[in-house]
């Protein structure tokens, strides 16, 4: 397989050389100055502060507020596993190189720890407040001592019958070394002694949450819940009969998942990933969380056993550990305490049973908006019909993440059984989904599907499907290009876009892309319309920013608008600073990480940075250039991050249909005018939540999008009912 590293580096060197013309510093502002750039890790933590605010917001239904609490805790777990783990590896490797914002790895860790402790303290105050509010709704998160004797006895019997057999105490003494502690596990550290002796002994007991065992145990048939570890702690006599318990203290560890092996040296990529997963299980611990009040001796002992600095790496949040498990409470069946039910509607053009390929061919393209429009009745339908249509010859798909019960995979295997050529590019290195993707790869291969794992040195992150069909006038290529994964569950939770198209040039580009992904050969293929990373996308974005500067003038003011998850790439950030300094209006709708500071006098006064936090996770990527009036819109899988632009396979597709452009314009304008879900950044990098004034729209953009999708569906349904029989209906299988 041809290695792509040298060619990619050469292309990026060329891009950097050209960029010097765009970002040449002036006397007013030196664009290499660290003060102009915000830190990636700290801005991501600030995003979680905005998410946490949803748990405080009185306008948010109660159980939704509990859900946002759990989301922040889950995000922090991932942050320590990935980001802190990676920074600690840099410290261990004596990396002293500063980031563009002027911070060393150790400085970043120290500043992140300070922010995490501040947010966690705020989080525990919110937990206490929401627990009181839950009681008002007759949902009680009780302590064991608050239960009556009958309730305690019932819990003991339930624990003895259904959980106790899963529990394994582990002693710690000269004959029993300190046991292995798994990632994110809850553990009881039990100090005890024999009744006739005073010599203390230690034991570790893992709390067996998961695999059907909940963290919150329901008391009888009530809405009273108690934490599993409390029930275990109050029934230790079952585990240690005849012993006296001196103390029972809770702790939790987080391990580094940032394990990397050299895949260019691996003979078998699948075996290498499986080996990496095994290594990750035993990876170093990067965080220890302990319950408040743990004795100083045992506190120090645990820190020493895990090789942690007790003053820095040990966290004592002062309340519940693993608040991510509050999601169990948030999922209670109490609709009056939740957001109104949301049911994605069909895309207006896909209503009915007409063959989907004929619908796409007649329309030329369809723009899909998830979760407002149904994933199952669009993308899954596309694959279902492709798997069964006798005229379909081949299906090619990239897979980054998918759900455990994926219909996407079922339809691909059905297509293979029906004799179609099926090729799937599976990204084995999708963080936290490696094991699932390995299992899917094995099942797909057993079904006779051609499975490959992408190109050495880069992750395959693009979301594309290519279907080759024998139409009435010859072979035609139908495609789906999206911003989100082929994952039915996240398609109901994430805001994403997708494009169905039968454009010949896009189809030809995707053919070249899949040939590259399945061979790794000739990365400098010719692409007609798609912008692809790591080869052309970054260069194209920089060129288009420079073009916007050159076209800007009083008669034709320039404008750049980018909606993305993150703006982290230094070159793109510098280019946007240059555009703003030249007078170009720059609107950035950035969900989390953003390096650029708006509103700096003489530099970024024309930049606005907005973050949308709402019911759905904003995941859409849209790029807009006014281009002297000849407007350009792109959507796709890439964020403006160094990793996305330089070490991932990403695809951005132009949106050329006038109606689709109006839809994208409505999305951008609605989010820029939102005063319910929007937060705006100031020069210092601080965000303030916007609030509606009297007479202004009180609903956030996501609520407006739900209403618009439902209105379009109703209008299309009414129009269809009035349409004369036989016009546009039926299954056309030409």
Catalytically annotated residues: 461
Element (H, E) at 172: strand 169-172
Whole-number Cα distances in Å, 61 to 38, 122, 124, 336, 337: 33, 19, 19, 8, 5
- Contact predicate 649/455, CB 8 Å: yes
Whole-number Cα distances in Å, 463 to 415, 497, 549, 563, 635: 19, 11, 31, 18, 11
Burial 490-528 (b: 16+ CB within 10 A, else e): bbbebbbbbbbbbbeebbbbbbbbbebbbebeebeeebe
Burial 83-122 (b: 16+ CB within 10 A, else e): bbbbbbbbeeeeeeeebbbebbbeebbeebeebbeebbeb
Long-range contacts from 671-674, C-beta under 8 angstroms, 24+ separation:
671/563, 671/589, 671/610, 671/612, 671/701, 672/587, 672/589, 672/608, 672/610, 674/610, 674/612, 674/700, 674/701
d(CA 276, CA 270): 10
CA-wise closest residue to 283 among 94, 116, 89, 105 = 89
CA-wise closest residue to 572 among 647, 499, 653, 642 = 642
Q: How many CB atoms lie within 10 A of CB 132?
A: 10
- Contact predicate 138/223, CB 8 Å: yes
Element (H, E) at 423: strand 421-426
d(CA 643, CA 489): 26
The residue ranges of DSSP E strands in 353-408, in sequence order, are 365-370, 392-399
Angle in degrees, CA 690, 695, 701, rounded to 5: 50
- Contact predicate 635/483, CB 8 Å: yes
- Contact predicate 404/480, CB 8 Å: no
Work out whether the CA dihedral 223, 229, 230, 233 comes out positive or negative: positive
- Contact predicate 527/464, CB 8 Å: no
Could you tell me the maximum CA-CA distance found in the chain, to the nearest angstrom? 93
Long-range contacts from 175-178, C-beta under 8 angstroms, 24+ separation:
178/204, 178/305
d(CA 156, CA 138): 23
d(CA 305, CA 298): 10
CA-wise closest residue to 43 among 604, 451, 594 = 594
- Contact predicate 41/100, CB 8 Å: no
Exposed, middle or buried: residue 637 (CB in 10 Å: 0-12, 13-18, 19+)?
buried
Work out whether the CA dihedral 234, 236, 242, 243 comes out positive or negative: negative
d(CA 146, CA 194): 29
d(CA 501, CA 481): 8
- Contact predicate 411/467, CB 8 Å: no
């Amino acid at each position: 397989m041809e290695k792509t590293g040298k060619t990619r580096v050469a292309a990026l060197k060329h891009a950097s050389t050209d960029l010097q013309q765009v970002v040449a510093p002036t006397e007013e502002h030196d664009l290499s100055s660290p003060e102009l750039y915000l830190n990636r890790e700290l801005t991501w933590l600030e995003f979680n502060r905005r998410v946490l605010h949803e748990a405080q917001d009185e306008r948010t239904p109660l159980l939704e507020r509990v859900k946002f609490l759990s989301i922040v805790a889950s995000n922090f777990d991932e942050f320590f596993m990935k980001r802190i783990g990676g920074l600690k590896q840099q410290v261990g490797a004596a990396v002293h190189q500063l980031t563009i914002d002027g911070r060393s790895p150790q400085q970043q860790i120290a500043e992140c720890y300070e922010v995490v402790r501040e947010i966690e303290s705020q989080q525990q105050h919110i937990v206490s407040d929401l627990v009181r509010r839950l009681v008002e709704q007759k949902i009680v998160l009780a302590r064991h001592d608050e239960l009556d004797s009958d309730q305690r006895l019932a819990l003991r019997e339930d624990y003895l019958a259904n959980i106790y057999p899963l529990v394994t105490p582990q002693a710690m003494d000269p004959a029993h070394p300190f046991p292995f502690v798994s990632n994110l596990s809850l553990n009881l550290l039990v100090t005890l002694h024999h009744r006739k002796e005073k010599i203390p002994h230690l034991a570790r007991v893992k709390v067996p949450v998961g695999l059907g065992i909940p963290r919150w145990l329901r008391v009888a048939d009530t809405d009273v819940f108690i934490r599993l570890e409390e029930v275990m702690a109050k029934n230790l006599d079952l585990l240690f009969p005849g012993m006296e318990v001196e103390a029972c203290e809770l702790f939790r560890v987080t391990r580094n998942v940032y394990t990397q092996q050299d895949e260019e040296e691996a003979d078998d990529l699948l075996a290498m990933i499986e080996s990496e997963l095994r290594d990750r299980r035993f990876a170093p611990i990067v965080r220890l969380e302990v319950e408040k009040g743990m004795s100083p001796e045992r506190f120090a002992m645990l820190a020493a056993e895990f090789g942690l600095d007790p003053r820095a790496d040990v966290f004592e949040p002062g309340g519940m550990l693993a608040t991510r498990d509050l999601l169990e409470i948030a999922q209670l069946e109490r609709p009056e305490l939740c957001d109104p039910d949301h049911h994605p509607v069909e895309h207006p053009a896909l209503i009915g049973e007409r063959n989907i390929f004929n619908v796409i061919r007649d329309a030329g393209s369809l723009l899909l908006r998830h979760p407002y429009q149904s994933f199952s009745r669009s993308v899954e339908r596309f694959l279902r019909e492709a798997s069964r249509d006798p005229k379909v010859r081949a299906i090619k798909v990239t897979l980054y993440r998918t759900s455990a019960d994926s219909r996407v995979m079922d339809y691909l295997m059905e297509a293979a059984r029906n004799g179609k050529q099926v090729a799937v590019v599976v990204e084995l290195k999708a963080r936290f989904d490696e094991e699932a993707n390995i299992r899917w790869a094995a099942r797909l291969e057993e079904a006779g599907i051609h499975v490959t794992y992408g190109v050495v040195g880069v992750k395959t992150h693009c979301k594309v499907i290519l279907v080759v069909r024998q139409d009435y006038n010859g072979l035609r290529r139908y495609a789906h290009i999206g911003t989100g994964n082929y994952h039915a569950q996240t398609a109901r939770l994430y805001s994403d876009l997708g494009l169905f198209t039968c454009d010949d040039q896009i189809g030809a580009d995707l053919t070249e892309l899949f040939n590259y992904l399945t061979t790794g050969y000739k990365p400098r293929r010719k692409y007609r319309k798609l912008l692809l990373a790591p080869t052309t996308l970054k260069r194209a974005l920089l060129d288009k920013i420079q073009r916007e500067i050159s076209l800007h003038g009083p008669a034709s003011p320039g404008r750049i608008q980018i909606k993305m998850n993150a703006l982290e790439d230094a070159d793109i950030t510098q280019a946007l600073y240059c555009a703003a300094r030249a007078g170009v209006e720059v609107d950035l709708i950035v969900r989390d990480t953003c390096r650029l500071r708006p509103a700096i006098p003489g530099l970024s006064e024309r930049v606005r940075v907005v973050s949308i936090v709402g019911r759905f996770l904003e995941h859409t990527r849209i790029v807009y250039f006014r281009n002297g009036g000849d407007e350009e819109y792109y959507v796709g899988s890439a964020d403006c991050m160094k990793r996305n632009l330089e070490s991932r396979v990403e695809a951005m597709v132009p949106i050329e249909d006038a109606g689709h452009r109006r839809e994208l314009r409505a999305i951008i304008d609605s989010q820029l005018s939102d005063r319910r879900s929007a937060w705006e950044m100031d020069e210092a990098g601080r965000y303030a939540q916007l609030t509606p004034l009297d007479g202004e729209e009180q609903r956030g953009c996501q609520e407006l999008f739900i209403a618009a999708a439902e209105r379009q569906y109703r209008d299309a349904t009414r129009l269809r009912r009035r349409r004369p029989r036989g016009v546009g209906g039926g299954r056309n299988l030409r």
